[in-house]
Copies of this chain bind each other. A is one copy, B any other.
Amino acid sequence: MTTDSFVLKGDIVYSLDPQRLSCTEGGYLVCDEGLCAGVFAAGELPGRFADLEVRDFCGQLIIPGLVDLHTHAPQFPNRGLGMDLELLDWLDTYTFPEESRYADLTYARLAYEDFVAELMRGATTRAVVFATLHVPATLLLMELLEDTGLSTLVGKLNMDRNSLPTLVERDALASLDATRQWLNAVAERGFRCTAPILTPRFVPSCSDSLLVGLGALQREFGLPVQSHLSENLAEIAWVRELCPDAASYAEAYLRTGLLGGEGCPTIMAHCVYSDPLETPLLKEQGVWIAHCPVSNTCVSSGIAPVRSYLDQGLRVGLGTDVSGGYSLSLLHSMAEAIKVSKLRWRLVDDGLKPLSVAEAFYLATLGGGSFFGKVGSFEPGFCFDAVVLEDIRRPTDSDLDLEARLERLIYADANDRVLGKYVNGQQIL
């Protein structure tokens, strides 16, 4: 598992922009000391790479590693269970009780090992992960992730109100102290591919003084931030009650310095109902929206207008949002993003045409990858994150082009067809 220089040979697909795919059959993808050196057609591999080892995946697809911008590791035991409630009741009934269990490190190890194994076996190479409010369990999760070679950002949660007695921090000060303690412990461990991200759960879980304190902590440590935004109508109405002087839900984060801007890269999950007051803030502040179509359907939130966000030039990636979502597969999330965009076009607004395969693929690669820097593309200079997918073959196949083969792998949810996985040029699977 050392950084290396080598060449992958196969049928290579990556996004040039949201609408356009680069497709090269039988091409060469060059890794030069952990960075992409480009994609070359057969016979066009530059001489300077001629001596590199070629790993031949003839007839298989090679795509950028997939990036999960939003998921909850401690909810993994609940996935596919308790899908009968809307967001706020679902949190109280299923999610908060489950997260309470992570006070117990023995349980946390069982659950997190299971989560990490599942994340490893699929096509995801990078993920931004909610843990729980518990410092020891969060450190354990980070250690387990570090051992995999996946590149992840992990957040100890902050929550000091409106939760179960078993899952709430005493007050803002206690939450901030625990966060400092966690950050210090992370720094001591010297992780290579695992980093902390500030994680106020969402406005209803965080008192004003906690948000203010986290804003100060963000500036002190220069940390990235993740939270939830405008997911569900009842949640939004509640935030309006809790923050009567904020013009929008987003402003409740902005005014404490937790909504993007210079030195504060921020992911806001969902944005199902971000309105014309909110979207300009997201754009100005350069916030990444984590679109979570499976979860938004399963907890009956609705369908985010992703087409509109892309048209407005907002940053958008995909999140699996387990266990509002029931699967860690981003290939499944791509299919779901397309599907719900069709229903939104049909049922809500036929001015917003459905997402294409190229657009869904962009969201899961370059769209979300950009949160990590130069990630999610095979253009020269990008981090070498790649996944080899075993292609589907049917006896009836004739001349399917590469985009069609990608489409079929997406709808077949080919997350279990990973033949190889590389992060920063290191083979991790």
* Cβ contacts under 8 Å, A356 to chain B: 84
Residues of A42-91 whose CB lies within 8 A of B: 76-77, 79-84
Could you tell me the distance in whole angstroms from the C-beta of A93 to the nearest C-beta in chain B? 13
Assess the B342–A300 pair: CB atoms within 8 A. Answer: yes
Instruction: Please report the C-alpha to C-alpha distance between residue A114 and residue B340 in the assembled complex, in whole angstroms.
Output: 30
Assess the B411–A326 pair: CB atoms within 8 A. Answer: yes
Residues of A297-340 whose CB lies within 8 A of B: 297-298, 300-303, 326-327, 335, 338-340
- Check: A189 CB closer than 8 A to any chain B CB: no
Given A110-B396, A338-B83, the answer on whether A346 and B300 have CB atoms closer than 8 Å is yes
- Check: A174 CB closer than 8 A to any chain B CB: no
Could you tell me the distance in whole angstroms from the C-beta of A1 to the nearest C-beta in chain B? 26
- Check: A187 CB closer than 8 A to any chain B CB: no
- Check: A235 CB closer than 8 A to any chain B CB: no
* Cβ contacts under 8 Å, A340 to chain B: 297, 343
Count of A interface residues, CB-CB < 8 Å:
49
Given A77-B394, A347-B348, the answer on whether A339 and B297 have CB atoms closer than 8 Å is yes
Could you tell me the distance in whole angstroms from the C-beta of A415 to the nearest C-beta in chain B? 11
- Check: A96 CB closer than 8 A to any chain B CB: no
Given A343-B297, A396-B111, the answer on whether A408 and B302 have CB atoms closer than 8 Å is no
Instruction: Please report the C-alpha to C-alpha distance between residue A298 and residue B357 in the assembled complex, in whole angstroms.
Output: 12
Which listed residue, B302, B392, B410, touches A347 by the CB 8 Å rule?
Answer: B302
* Cβ contacts under 8 Å, A410 to chain B: 80
Which of A110, A300, A407, A413 has its CB near the most chain B CB atoms (within 10 A)?
A: A300
Assess the B80–A342 pair: CB atoms within 8 A. Answer: no
Given A80-B407, A303-B347, the answer on whether A342 and B298 have CB atoms closer than 8 Å is yes
Which listed residue, B81, B84, B345, B346, touches A408 by the CB 8 Å rule?
Answer: B81
Which listed residue, B84, B300, B327, B342, touches A345 by the CB 8 Å rule?
Answer: B300
Instruction: Please report the C-alpha to C-alpha distance between residue A344 and residue B297 in the assembled complex, in whole angstroms.
Output: 10
As for how many copies of this chain the complex holds, the number is 2
* Cβ contacts under 8 Å, A81 to chain B: 400, 404, 407-408
Given A79-B411, A297-B342, A407-B80, the answer on whether A396 and B303 have CB atoms closer than 8 Å is no
- Check: A113 CB closer than 8 A to any chain B CB: yes
* Cβ contacts under 8 Å, A400 to chain B: 81
Could you tell me the distance in whole angstroms from the C-beta of A66 to the nearest C-beta in chain B? 18
Instruction: Please report the C-alpha to C-alpha distance between residue A181 and residue B25 in the assembled complex, in whole angstroms.
Output: 47
Assess the A302–B411 pair: CB atoms within 8 A. Answer: no
* Cβ contacts under 8 Å, A77 to chain B: 394, 396-397
- Check: A276 CB closer than 8 A to any chain B CB: no
- Check: A27 CB closer than 8 A to any chain B CB: no
Assess the A326–B412 pair: CB atoms within 8 A. Answer: yes
Which listed residue, B83, B301, B345, touches A346 by the CB 8 Å rule?
Answer: B301
- Check: A221 CB closer than 8 A to any chain B CB: no
- Check: A257 CB closer than 8 A to any chain B CB: no
* Cβ contacts under 8 Å, A395 to chain B: 110-111, 113-114
* Cβ contacts under 8 Å, A339 to chain B: 297-298
Assess the B302–A343 pair: CB atoms within 8 A. Answer: yes
- Check: A354 CB closer than 8 A to any chain B CB: yes
| B-contact 0/1 string along A98-119, CB 8 Å cutoff | 0000000001001101100000
Closest to A396 in B: B77
Task: Please list 19 pairs of residues, one from A and one from B, whose beta carbons are closer than 8 Å in the complex, sorted by A's number.
Answer: A79-B411, A80-B412, A81-B404, A81-B407, A82-B404, A82-B407, A84-B356, A107-B396, A110-B396, A114-B394, A114-B395, A297-B340, A300-B343, A326-B335, A326-B412, A343-B343, A343-B347, A344-B347, A347-B348
Task: Give me 10 other A-B pairs in contact (C-beta within 8 A), A110-B395, A326-B412 excluded.
Answer: A77-B396, A80-B407, A80-B410, A82-B404, A82-B407, A83-B407, A297-B339, A300-B346, A300-B354, A347-B347
User: CB within 8 Å of B: which residues of A?
Assistant: 76-77, 79-84, 107, 110-111, 113-114, 297-298, 300-303, 326-327, 335, 338-340, 342-348, 354, 356-357, 392, 394-397, 400, 404, 407-413
